[in-house]
Amino acid sequence: MHKFTENLSPEDRHVYRRWLGGLVGFYGALMTVTAGVIAGDQWSKNLAREPAVAAAVNDRLVGPVEDWMVVRHVAK
């Protein structure tokens, strides 16, 4: 079975490689931006919970079930 690029002229191979490189570069940039957005979202959620968790822990010792209820109540 012959490879697809063997049938191309040298100029067409160059265009194909540039197109393929651009596609890989675009995909890499898209994945980097997506990872940054997800990490930033998680980071901002953790910062928003931090004071609520500290207040809940300082008020009283809470059990594992009540913990998230107190955090949600304090965060609102």
pLDDT tens digits for 16-69? 999 999 999 999 999 999 999 999 888 877 765 666 656 655 555 555 555 555
pLDDT band at 8 (very low <50, low <70, confident <90, very high): confident
Cα distances (Å, whole numbers) of residue 25 to 38, 47, 52, 69: 20, 33, 41, 45
Q: What is residue 27's predicted lDDT score, i.e. its pLDDT?
A: 98
User: Taking residues 2-8, what's their average pLDDT?
Assistant: 77
φ, ψ dihedrals at 51, nearest 5°: -65, -35
